[in-house]
Structure 1
Amino acid sequence: MRYGLDKWSMRCMGNWLTGCTQRVLVNSSFSNWQPVTSGALQGSILGPMLFNIFISDLDDGIKCTLMKFADDTKLSGEVDTLEGRATLQEDLDRLEEWANKNLMKDNNILDLGKTNPGAQHRLGSTWLESSSVERDLGVLVDNKLNMSEECAAAAKKANRMWGCINKGITNRDKEVIIPLSACQAIPGILCSVLVPTVQKRCGQAGEGSEEGHQDDQSTGKLAM
């Protein structure tokens, strides 16, 4: 099967993946070049695309909702009834059979909802562990769905970047501090509720006043 790819695309991908070599660097010393026998270069669009083709038959016979995207594939279903739990377990058994055939492994459960009974499920003979927070496509999702974990992580990252700017840049002019913070610290914040606080701190530093500079150093975390 070609999955909608023409001969030219197939030949192009084959040429790109054939003959690849790799080496490692340890303490300024390189290893010898070794052939890459499988896989695709990390960061390329080809990696997720080939993985999606690999798991294209994963949803055969699945009754619950299966959201497929490379290794972030998720199976979800309602577990507030006995029938719903049984259906979800049947689908987990199908995924376990598929995983064993394809030498793959699944991981944790994220229980969502305030009234979720937290029913236990298994893959084969292994009981799956319930998790309070998981990273989904780069974003932390918690079981309360209030994004508190993601907001805290974004605030920590922005504060870390802002600390580097505050200590490393001696020029306190607005023309320097505001643009630098806008392109380095603020883009790392995913929740818009945090943005005004960061902008306020950047503005205080840009004023060049001693009071504003001391406030910046004493602030340990962003308001949420």
Structure 2
Amino acid sequence: MAMTIVEQSGGQYHVLLIIADGQVTRSVDTASGQLSSQEQKTVDAIVKASELPLSIVLVGVGDGPWDMMKEFDDNIPARAFDNFQFVNFSEIMSKNMAQSRKEAAFALSALMEIPPQYKATVELGILGRRSFKSPDRVPLPPPSGSHGAYSYYSSKGFSKPSTYPQSSSSSSPYPHYETPHTATPAAPSATYDNQVCPICLVNPKDMAFGCGHQTCCDCGQILESCPICRTPITTRIKLY
């Protein structure tokens, strides 16, 4: 469905956020090291989605278990670009640090791969164009006659939700989407990329890791692994 939305938007960049409270139940017939049918369908969908300007962020909440998700993330087969990121929310929030630092660490973990993924869609030429490869699925319209919900939102000062326009040439109950005609954003300059932190895209690069990649000090202090090559960070060098 997310791929269809991206396609109908004319190839605009989207981020699909998935909140999961547990892993897929594996059948007793699934051998160790093999994927269940549901897991295989998930992998196939992620690979297919890499043909579109769509990033996927999976946030694990609750007990999980999430120990295999890192391995799952690293072993997805070849894609047009690395479009999938897993974030262990429970692990981050269980750390012994101030709540504000936990929230900052979670936000950074969830968003740190978005800038390079967006850049990859620009370089691959898939941003701002339709691929005609998405499955034919559309989101369901909101339920009708939800007077109680409308009354609640009205009491809170919100305006009445807008209705979905229906196509005059079809009796389908699904909403009709108009594909906007948007120009493809220009790729950022190489000089700008080399000077600005790839995480926040604001501060200059002033911290280097042992692998050689660089970020700003604010982002670099929170990271546990390099956002570019994912090498565990053991050395931080302040640049002047």
TM-score of the pair, normalised by structure 2? 0.23
Higher-RCO chain (CA-CA 8 Å, sequence separation at least 6): 2
TM-score of the pair, normalised by structure 1? 0.24
